[in-house]
Structure 1
Amino acid sequence: MEKALSPSSPRPPRATALDHRYQGEHPIRTLAYLLRPDRPRLLAAVAVFAVRHSPLWLLPLITANIIDVVVEHRPIAELWYNAAVLGFMFAVNFPSAVLYSRLMSTTIRRLSTTLRSALCRRMQELSIGYHARVSSGVLHAKVVRDVDTIEESLKQTAEVGLGAITTMLGGLIVIGIRAPAFLPVFLVVVPAAAILIRVLRGRLRSRNETFRKEIELLSSRVTEMTSLIHITRAHGLENAALGRVDGVLDRVRTAGFRLDLLNGRVSSLAWNVLNALGVCCLIGAALVAYYGWLPVTAGDVVMLSTFFTTMTAATTALMGLAPTMTRGLESVRSIGEVLQAPDLESNDGKREVAAVTGAFEFRRVDFTYEGSDEPSVTELDLTVRPGETIALVGPSGAGKSTVLNLLIGFIRPTGGSILLDGVDTADLDLRSYRRFLSVVPQESMLFAGTIRENVAYGLADEVDEETLRSALEAANAWEFVSRMPDGVDTVVGQHGARLSGGQRQRLAIARALIRDPRVLVLDEATSALDGRSEALVQEALGRLMRGRTVFVVAHRLSTIRDADRIVVMEGGRVREIGTHEELLALDGLYRQLQPGQAA
């Protein structure tokens, strides 16, 4: 690789301030902190919303004025004055609605982007141990579903909450000015009516929960059916699979039917309660006006009745926001589990690695996984010279993968130390060290992009066509890439689904070659390949390993016999070290691990 790139990749941007801000505080405080940069925009949005929403609480007053003009034969100019006010409100409604949507959407979208960015950056900082414990599906749900829930919660709270609050405040102000004697009635009866309706609707909670659980079970059954479709078809079990799903479908139908019936009953009861109270308010106001107990006009009677209905509905809507707000705040807590997770790979303030020669020294290294009583690696002593190839062999559970994880820096020793070029890795910024390291795993991970994007991942702006082709040729990949319809711009599919295992592995080698690493880790890189693919990959690996410090984990003798030294491990300890010939001559554990393989 004459034009192989020097190992340089841009440092990731610093995590957002939210990473350091969220310390288990109440979710409302977290949201207030997140929304702080948009406070002027939010205040403007509230003001614009009040203008947009004004018809709902001004219309009853204008209606009352018009009725009084007709009933009391007031000057006709008052009619036109009220009509002009009404026309102005309708005229400004559309532009104010657009402006409100623009202001509020900008705020909420910025918030969701900040949260998703903070989560993704935090995931990059969390240790591999954390990712081993926490399902990727859970983390995906936090980035997508939880942030989406917060978005929807804020939108509904802003729309419904502001609408209810402006309606209630506007109505109370108008009543206080126009008919102050009725103000105490509204302050007591309206909340009481809303609470009563809320209690009626509260009966729906258990039925909704039952229906949700049945839907979740149905989702689980359908996912199970689709994932096992090959086994089902192979054994002729289609009817059995459908029977499992049909049983859940019947339960969903029954639960849904019961929920619909209860919804109908509660809605009807709530409607009757609300309208009965409204009629009572109308009759009461009419009696007051008829007998002249208070100075109330015919228009006031209509206004009071209308306000009672609208304000009761507003109070009910405000109380109905509780579940939505609860879901949103719970999602903030859910995101906080990641943002405040302490299991971080700490690199801040540590020495950056500017160059690597590839000399390693393991000094009595111990490592025990969290929750385990037995150490995975015990008193590992090993000195590796620059450019040396070290093979790690041993039975399953010997500690080989743990040594590789320690080498890469995914985990830290629980005892002893690892030195890189004479410096303790505990004092190094491991992100800068990994720029000089490449890993070729057993199953190469490709994303759903082009061959070019996969091979030059992270280096796209620095890789020219000649360098890219040289890497592919050295990896024995050019022979199949050149035959593809779009060449290096061919899309490989999700996880490289359009390629064979050998082709994916050769692209992984090309990805390593193009970075020209000083340290190379090969983790069972040929174990899943057929004979022809293995030969091509082995030839490519030979080019990749040349002049580099290499650590190899493999079971096949052909992969390890040419290593400078072979480290034989068992139970987390080093049992034997030597060349292939030396270890065979010992007639120890190494020979026992090679049954049926020619020397």
Structure 2
Amino acid sequence: MFLLGIVGVSLDAAMQAVFIKFIEPLIDRVFVEKDAQFGLLLAGGVVIVILLRVIGNFTGTYGMEWTGRRVVADLRAELFDSYLALPATFFDRHSAGQLISKLAYNSEQVAQAVTNAIVSAIRDIMLVVYLLLVMLSLSPRLTAIMLMLVPAVAIVVTVVSRRFRKISRRIQDSMGDVSHVTEEAVVGHQVVKVFQGQDAESERFRTVNERTRRLHMRMIAMHMLSSSMIQIAAGAALVALLVIATRPGMLEEITAGTFTSLFFAMVATIPPLKRLTGVQTQMQKGIAAADSIFRIMDAPREVDSGSLAVQRVDGDIEFRNVSFRYDSSQRPILNDVSFAVPRGSVTALVGQSGGGKTTLAGLLPRFYNYSEGHILLDGRELAEYRLPDLRRQIALVSQEVILFNDTVAGNIAYGSLSGASREDILQAARSAHALEFIERLPDGLDTQVGENGTLLSGGQRQRIAIARALLKNAPVLILDEATSALDTESEKAIQDALEEVMRHRTTIVIAHRLSTIENADQVVVLEQGRVIETGTHAALLERGGAYARLYQTQFSHAAAPD
């Protein structure tokens, strides 16, 4: 298709030049020599030229557009696949709005460069070349005047292109900021309204929006400047042509038809030369956009150096002197953490907010790689397992429930669970005490939940997430505040279901509400990234340490009169 596009665009440009070439015999033979028969032949030639140009324009534009859109579709698919393969540390450094902008806005800039810009560039370059050939066939001496344009075009392309690319990068970054500010305002619309942040958000948006507008105006000014320089150079060349062609020596050499055809050919070179400066703008935008996309596609993927393949582990977990810090933090989030989680047991991680509980649980599926120490699963280092095999052993219910814009059944049987039978999905929903509200939905399991489950309540979303974890039937279960969005009655029902499920799995529970982990086999108390206490609920209460103080604080608040 690309070659077809090249041929079509070339044919279109050639026919435009041929049409101008027809001016010479039209004037000299038809009007000067009064050759009527040749006039009829020329009219037939014009009809053929028009038909060939229509064919060339259609095949050229369609072929180049097809090729360009295919390239952009593949580029977007690869960028999206890159998002899925990048480590969690990458998303810590980039906002969702900026990443979405690269997939939508930046890739569209590439699309414009590889479709409209390339089509226009090839057509205009070929047109200039063909017009020069026409002019050379008419008068090589006068055609040399066109060479006056070459230095001007070269200077414009060299100097302006650098400026275009620099401004384009800044525009793309600014568009990422626009998307980021918009996303925050839309997602947090309830907080914005309750805390009356409309004016502040409007001001934030106006700031980034105005910055984007100014950058676009600078781009337009540069484009108009370059176009004006080309027009001035072309005007000088036309003046020189008129001065030289009207000298007595030249008037003896050229006919009226030759001069007219030459003049029209030279005038016809001005629009494509001006358009080429516009093409340069699009090309530099596309290059800058492609550069930002390729930087993401070339970013390091999740490290998966493991070679151990396993179908199902027993579930023995051990943390040995584990330390961890985020790339942007000097202070360690976890410091010399050690404890064991026997297979089939329930271990609760408790402590003040910011103590490192969620981070510690996130090391198990290797969302992050710990900097020191060892984490063993069935006596083998986590890094020894192939990443897909390791994550197949783990089910996760996070405090931030993620649901997709799909049906209830599609959210329960998500990803690798998509082949689950209807009966298994129903059983998982029943075990999570979700079936009671699912049956009341308009289409039951086939009800669309909306973006991130907006059509469901917080407790309903959390129960669907728990049903998803139950359906996976993994030997290791991580519950990160899994009952935090449930009311007291729902929480009791879920606790009954979870206790039954946890008997057969190695479970790590992260909980701020200590009443939910009284039956845990082991409680690990974290404070500022360190393990300060380990034991059962009863033993830690009897010890009267940090856990006992946390427990007493919570229950003294709960017992306080309203």
Tell me which interval the TM-score lies in, with the shorter structure as reference length: 0.7 to 0.9
The verdict on how the C-alpha distance between 1:146 and 1:311 changes in structure 2, with shifts beyond 3 A counting, is: same
Q: Is the 8 A contact 2:227 2:277 kept in 1?
A: no
Q: 1:84 is aligned with what amino acid?
A: G
- 1:31 matched to which residue of 2? none
- 1:504 matched to which residue of 2? 461
Cα distance in 1 for residues equivalent to 2:86 and 2:167: 40
- 2:299 matched to which residue of 1? 341
Q: What's the secondary structure of 1:595's corresponding residue?
A: helix
- 1:447 matched to which residue of 2? 404
Q: What's the secondary structure of 2:57's corresponding residue?
A: helix
Q: Is the 8 A contact 1:389 1:563 kept in 2?
A: yes
1:432-486 deviation per Cα after TM superposition (whole angstroms, max 9, x unaligned): 1111211001121101111011111124652222111111111111111111111
- 1:50 matched to which residue of 2? 10
The verdict on how the C-alpha distance between 1:596 and 1:362 changes in structure 2, with shifts beyond 3 A counting, is: closer
The verdict on how the C-alpha distance between 1:218 and 1:574 changes in structure 2, with shifts beyond 3 A counting, is: closer
- 1:588 matched to which residue of 2? 545
Q: Does 1:136 align with 2:86?
A: no
- 1:411 matched to which residue of 2? 368
1:143-186 deviation per Cα after TM superposition (whole angstroms, max 9, x unaligned): 22211110101223212211220111001111112211112111
In structure 1, runs of 5+ residues without a counterpart are 1-40
Cα distance in 2 for residues equivalent to 1:148 and 1:130: 23
Q: What's the secondary structure of 1:492's corresponding residue?
A: coil
The aligned runs of 1:34-73 (5 Å cut-off) are 41-73=1-33
Q: What's the secondary structure of 1:526's corresponding residue?
A: coil
Q: Does 1:489 align with 2:446?
A: yes
Cα distance in 2 for residues equivalent to 1:219 and 1:345: 26
Cα distance in 2 for residues equivalent to 1:494 and 1:195: 52
Give the % identical residues: 31
- Coordinate RMSD, CA, aligned: 4.1
1:474 to 431, 449, 452: 431
Deviation at 1:501, TM superposition (A): 0.9
In structure 2, runs of 5+ residues without a counterpart are 557-562
1:280-327 deviation per Cα after TM superposition (whole angstroms, max 9, x unaligned): 366336524x76545211111111221221212222222332222111
Cα distance in 1 for residues equivalent to 2:176 and 2:525: 49
The aligned runs of 1:220-235 (5 Å cut-off) are none
2:316 to 353, 359, 363: 359
The verdict on how the C-alpha distance between 1:197 and 1:274 changes in structure 2, with shifts beyond 3 A counting, is: farther
1:406-447 deviation per Cα after TM superposition (whole angstroms, max 9, x unaligned): 112111221111111121111111221111211001121101
- 2:560 matched to which residue of 1? none
The verdict on how the C-alpha distance between 1:197 and 1:316 changes in structure 2, with shifts beyond 3 A counting, is: farther
- 2:239 matched to which residue of 1? 280
Q: Is the 8 A contact 1:282 1:302 kept in 2?
A: no
Cα distance in 1 for residues equivalent to 2:475 and 2:499: 15
- Aligned pair count reads 554
Q: Is the 8 A contact 1:443 1:525 kept in 2?
A: no
With structure 2 as the length reference, what TM-score do the two structures score?
Answer: 0.86
Q: 1:284 is aligned with what amino acid?
A: V
Cα distance in 2 for residues equivalent to 1:187 and 1:324: 26
Cα distance in 1 for residues equivalent to 2:333 and 2:402: 26
Deviation at 1:197, TM superposition (A): 12
Q: Is the 8 A contact 2:145 2:237 kept in 1?
A: no
Q: What's the secondary structure of 2:29's corresponding residue?
A: helix
Q: What's the secondary structure of 2:415's corresponding residue?
A: coil
Cα distance in 2 for residues equivalent to 1:412 and 1:490: 39
- 2:124 matched to which residue of 1? 164
Cα distance in 2 for residues equivalent to 1:388 and 1:375: 28
- 1:36 matched to which residue of 2? none
Deviation at 1:333, TM superposition (A): 1.3
Deviation at 1:597, TM superposition (A): 5.0
With structure 1 as the length reference, what TM-score do the two structures score?
Answer: 0.81
Cα distance in 2 for residues equivalent to 1:403 and 1:217: 32
The verdict on how the C-alpha distance between 1:470 and 1:212 changes in structure 2, with shifts beyond 3 A counting, is: closer
Deviation at 1:187, TM superposition (A): 1.3
Higher alpha-carbon deviation: 353-362 or 66-75: 66-75
Q: Does 1:181 align with 2:138?
A: no
2:262 to 304, 308, 316: 304
Q: Is the 8 A contact 1:519 1:549 kept in 2?
A: yes
Deviation at 1:502, TM superposition (A): 0.8
